[in-house]
Each structure stands twice: as structure tokens, then as C-alpha cells.
A and B are shown apart, each in its own frame.
Chain A
Amino acid sequence: MTEEALENKMQIKNLSMYYTDFKAIEDVTLDVPARRITALIGPSGCGKSTLVRCLNRMNDLIEGVRTEGQVELDGENIYQPGFDTIGLRRRVGMVFQRPNPFPKSIYENVAYGPKLVGIKDKEKLDFIVEDSLKKAALWHEVKTILRESGQNLSGGQQQRLCIARVIAVQPEVILFDEPCSAIDPVATQLIEDLMAELKENFTMVIVTHNMQQAARVSDFTAFMLVQEQGEPGRLIEYGDTNTMFTNPTDERTERYITGRFG
């Protein structure tokens, strides 16, 4: 890690979230540095997916969800009343656990986002589609079959298609919610390489239960944990990935990383 001053793309400040009466995460404060990869690790049910979904307000779509605290994007609280959530989701894109291409062609999948903002010019769309697929390292595999359904691709290719679909919208931040849990090791490797390349232009947050993956791809790691059954998930420790994996401060982090529980 270089010593250059890191600017924070997003800042989570004292964030708590409730599903109706159940408190899912409590008092999380965490910085997401720009053009770096931040990994969220922790055992199942610790609230890491919930937390990442707070970053583009996808939890708003679930009935009965309530948040306290702030999440800032470039210094602006995204939970302030009247904040444009649609614009937010264009700036903060998301790749999901299971590859979820639309039942449309490969081309239409990638062109979906640009078309939403009113880009109709075919040449422009063609360019965006090609460019996004290239950036997602998928172009050479699909350039001759762009009209075929995105769902005919293999799982790993589908996931890269979903990444291309997000890139096409030119977001500033990309959230990955366990992006490799449903695909094989070779495809996982491809996606990890891809993330390393995307770091130049995008800020990324990855949720993973795979600690090796967190160690391989991320610059910063945050460890979350539910202490007792029924308690909310809390942020236990946060820091430079190297430090977190070699010399964690908190005993619980160490026990989790060395595989003694979770």
C-alpha cells in the first residue's frame, strides 16, 4: 500500500438498520476509500450483505426497513430526505450473489442501463456495449453471439456479463455481494483479476465469506460479527487488509481469520 493520501468515496457514520423490530446492524462506522477494494467479511448472518445494500439503498425495497445514522457519498448523506435514489443507484452499482442477467440478449443486457438514461443512438450504444464487455473481459467470448440470450452463457460468463451491465452505466462505486459464491474456481479467478483491473476507475466493496478471496483482492478489510444469537451485527475491526490478516488487534478477528469459528 502506498502512502498517498486516501480520499474517502463513501463514509458510513453510526449506521443502524432495522427489519421492522429486529435490529440487523448496529452503529457501524466505516470509510470506503476511493479506487480501492474494501472487503466485508464475517460469518453468515453477520449483516455484511445488509450493510452493503445500505450503500445504494436497495434495502428500501423491502417493507418495514428503517435506518438510523448516515451514509455519505462524496460527503453527501444519501439518507437525507428527498435524496434521489434512482440517481444514487446509477452512481453506486451492484453485482449480486447469483448471476442475474435479464432474459434478453447479451447486447440488450448491457445496453439496458444506457438506454434508461435516454441513449438511443445505435452507434453510441454499440460502442458502449463493446467497451463495457471488453472492460469486463468478456468481449472475445461473446462478440459473435451478441444476439443470443445472456442466460445461455455459463455461470462465470453470466457474472461477467452482469459486471459489464453495471460498467455500462459508468457508476462511481460497484458493490459486489458474494459475487463468486455461485461459480467455479476458474471463473472466480477471472473475476478477481477483473476486479484488480477495475480498481483504476472504480471504488469497490466486496462482501465475501471466503477469507482467501478477501486477502487476495482487497486493500482494506472490515470484519463484522453477531456476538450472540438475536443481537445485531456489529463492526468488530477495520483496517488495511495486510494488517488485518497478519496482525489483527481484536482477538475475535484473529479467531475468525484463523478459522477457529464461523
Chain B
Amino acid sequence: MKGKGARADKAATAVFWALGLITIVILAFIIIEILARGLLTAINPKFLFGKPEAMKAGGGIFPMVVSSLYLAALTILISLPIAIGAAIYMSEYAKKGRLSNFIRFCLDSLATLPSIVFGLFGLALFVVYFRWSYCLLAGAFTLAILNLPILLRSTEEAIKLVPNTYREASMCLGASKWTTIRQVVIPTALPGIMTSTILPIGRIMGESAAIVYTTGLFIRNIPVSPFDTAAPLAGYIWYAQSEALVPDYRQIVNGGAALLLIIVFAIYFLARWAGNRYQQTKLLGPKMK
């Protein structure tokens, strides 16, 4: 009997180990495949810092890189304050009941909508009705709405992870609820909030359906104003693959994909590093003589 149990245990361990391995293999395969095809192009300065060409080969991708980063920054700038504010309301103030259930239901519905729907909504509202035309701001607002449910949920989770004993201790020292939230809850949750912001950044950088209709597909100059037309990488990759007239479109697609991957990873690690650093320095305060 004992032998049988031990064998079953071994088999189960092997199965779960193998399943775990599969996820790693898939991720590794994708990363290696993309980098193998595009890394050399991506790090070539002429490609990385060059201007794109409309008709002939040898065009660069720099305005698209700037577009992607600009768009991501704008989107986070718009959605993070709303997400943090709403998450504070949901986790600290809202009473459990109909209203908070309804808000949650709306958020979940919003999260399940396909991104192309947001794209068309953004086109109708920002591009056409507001007459902003195709521009970064239209894309940023569209993506902000698209990402709000995830951002809000993960921010709320980060805030809920702050132990209630911290709130009690703060209140007992004569802090108001708002002071407690500002001085204790948010600083404690901030590393978590930063980590939870990364996932949406990856999604913003990778989103194409929602920006094709709002931000633009091809530009030659670096966008400066939020009202400039832009061409984020993901959308441009799609455009180069399916519509572009340049002969070296394959290289652009591969290089662009590799570059996108590198940027998203870089942001991921940067945000984690910043989160840890914040925890170590900011929370520990000034030196005493």
C-alpha cells in the first residue's frame, strides 16, 4: 500500500512539474523566436533611430518607438489617478451593497469587451465628435478606458493587502481617515500599485486594434504635442505586414516585434526595481543626527 501511495505521489509531482515546464517552454520559445528573427535589426542604430520610409527600403522606426512610449505615458497619466481614486473609494469608503456590486458588474463587463469595440468608440467620440482627428490623446483616452477595469481591480487588490492593523494604529494615534489613507495606506500599497501598473503598460504597448482607429498608423516625424498623429509600434507592425509598400517590410516587422518585446521587458524590470527602491528608501525616512 505504502509503495503504491508513494508511486502516485511521484507521478503527480512529475505531471505538475511537466505542466509547469510547458509554460516556461512556451514563453522561452516565443522570446527566442522573436529575438532570433529581429534582434539584430532592432539594435541597429540606423533602424532604431531612423525615420521610416514610405516607398523604399531601409527605413527606421524611431517615431514609432516614441509614439508607443508617449502613448503609454499619457494613458497611465490619465487612468492611474482615476484608478487609484476609484480603488480607494471601493476599498475604503464604499459600503458593501447594491451600489458597489453594480460598479463591480460594470467594470467586469467593461473588461470583457473586445478592444476593437473601444477602438470604434474612440473613433466616434474623440476622433470624430470632438474633432481631435487621429492623435495620441484620442488613443490615450481610448486605452485609458480600455485598461481602467484591470488597473482598478489590481490597484484595489494592492490597497486591500494593506493590513487593517495599520489603519487601526494610525486612527488610534489621532489620524483622520483621509490622513490614514494618505500617510499609511497609499505608501504601503504603492509598490503593489506600481507592479499592478506594469501589466496594463504591457497591454497598452501591445494594443493595436484600439489604436488603429484613434492614433494613426504611419508617421515620418516624431510626435510632439498630444494632438499630433502618431503610430505606436504594435499598430505599425500590423500596418507594415499588411499594407506597407516598402520592400523590406519583413525586416521591419521582425525588428519592430523584437524592439517591442525588449521595451516591455525593460519597463517591467524598471518598475519592479523602482518599487523595491521606494520601499527601501522613501518609507524609511530621514537620518537622525
Q: Which of B149-182 contact A (CB under 8 A)?
A: 163, 165-176, 179
CA distance A126 to B168 in the complex (A): 25
- Residue B2 at the chain A interface, CB threshold 8 Å: no
A105 touches B283 (CB 8 A): yes
Instruction: State how many residues of chain B have any CB contact under 8 Å with chain A.
Output: 27
A148 CA to B281 CA in the complex, in Å?
10
Query: Does chain A have a CB within 8 A of B4?
Result: no
Cβ A112 vs Cβ B183 within 8 A: yes
- Residue B285 contacts which of A58, A93, A107, A117 (CB distance < 8 angstroms)? A107
Q: How far is the CB of A11 from chain B (nearest CB, A)?
A: 21
Nearest Cβ distance between residue B194 and chain A, in whole angstroms?
Answer: 15
Query: Are A116 and B175 neighbours in the complex by a CB distance under 8 Å?
Result: yes
Query: A108 near B: Cβ within 8 Å?
Result: yes
Q: Does B95 contact A (CB under 8 A)?
A: yes
**A103 at interface by CB-CB < 8 Å:** yes
Say whether A66 faces chain B, with CB atoms less than 8 Å apart.
no
**Known contacts A86-B176, A103-B188; A112 and B170 CB within 8 A of each other:** yes
Asked if A166 CB lies within 8 Å of chain B CBs, one says: yes
Asked if B286 is at the interface (CB within 8 A of a chain A CB), the reply is yes
Within 8 Å of chain A (Cβ to Cβ): is B284? yes
* Contact pick for A169, options B171, B174, B287, CB 8 Å: B174
Q: By the criterion CB–CB under 8 Å, are B168 and A169 in contact?
A: no
Taken residue by residue from 104 to 131, chain B's Cβ proximity to chain A (1 for < 8 Å, 0 otherwise) reads as: 0000000000000000000000000000
Q: List the interface of chain B (C-beta within 8 A of A).
A: 95, 163, 165-176, 179, 183-184, 187-188, 279, 283-289
Residues of A within 8 A of B (CB): 56, 58, 61, 63, 86-87, 89-90, 93-94, 96, 98, 100-105, 107-108, 111-113, 116-117, 122, 126, 129, 146-149, 162, 165-166, 169
Q: List 15 A-B contacts (CB under 8 A).
A: A58-B172, A61-B167, A61-B168, A63-B95, A90-B173, A90-B174, A104-B284, A104-B285, A105-B283, A105-B284, A105-B285, A108-B285, A112-B183, A113-B173, A116-B174
